Amino acid sequence: MWSRVSVWLVVALAAGGCGGARTTGPAQAGSGVCGDDMTMVSPPGVCMDRYEASRGNGDKAASVEGAMPWVNLSQKDAQAACEEAGKRLCTKEEWTAACTGPPPGRTYPFGDNYAPKTCNAVDNGAGAAVPSGSLKGCTGAFPQLYDLVGNVWEWTASCGLGKCRVRGGSFKSNGKSVKCVAGADFGTGDSDETIGFRCCRNP
């Protein structure tokens, strides 16, 4: 004979309760729609690389934990590397949404207060780029987005008058420069050890 407890257990397990695998929100969308190397940022509804781009085979951008970020390339070359991977550069609006999260948004990807040792900005003391994803607390407002601020600036697809926007700051940046809304403009042909990128694609 079925008891009330037995019936409850069957219903709960079917719904994913009691330790089931049911998930909701961006983590579910990221794993199903975007693949293992990207996370869904919604809004605006775009897949974004979890890690800063590293150099893959054939000059193809790769999103790999523990790889060094690919630096010293122009915005045009960063865009080409994303296209080789079937992706594109993120716009500054997409990048900002990933960093702040849904409105009203965060000041930094990890919260509203600056934490000097959380990401690889100048106060962290590394003095150079570190492998992407190695600072586990340096995550974005959506699951498994690492190093959105600090480590290396990131090229975006947002350009005008011969300059393109970079976001996120680098290992040389102070707390003000690694706020989610902070950015800088560089010439489309500029390259530097402090500038890298990450890729996006439409789901």
Q: If DSSP codes are grouped into helix, strand and coil, which group holds residue 81?
A: helix
Q: Do 100 and 116 meet the contact criterion of CB atoms below 8 Å apart?
A: no
What percent of the chain lies above the pLDDT cut of 70?
A: 85
Token pair recorded at residue 138:
């340096």
CB atoms closer than 10 angstroms to residue 125: 10
Rounded CA-CA distance 156/149 in Å is 14
Instruction: Output the pTM of the full model.
Output: 0.83
Distances (CA, A) of 107 to 20, 36, 168, 192: 34, 27, 12, 26
Residue-wise pLDDT tens digits, 65-101: 999 999 999 999 999 999 999 999 999 999 999 999 9
DSSP state of 1: -
Q: Structural domain boundaries of the chain?
A: 30-201
Band of residue 13 on the pLDDT scale cut at 50, 70, 90 = very low
**CATH architecture under which domain 30-201 falls:** Alpha-Beta Complex (3.90)
| DSSP assignment string, 119-164 | SSSGGG---S---TT-STT-B-SSTT-B-SSSSSEEEEEEEETTEE
Token pair recorded at residue 81:
């590397």
Residue-wise pLDDT tens digits, 149-201: 999 999 999 999 999 999 999 999 999 999 999 999 999 999 999 999 999 99
Q: Which residues contact 103 (CB under 8 A, 6 or more apart)?
A: none
Band of residue 140 on the pLDDT scale cut at 50, 70, 90 = confident
Element (H, E) at 31: helix 26-32
Rounded CA-CA distance 38/98 in Å is 12
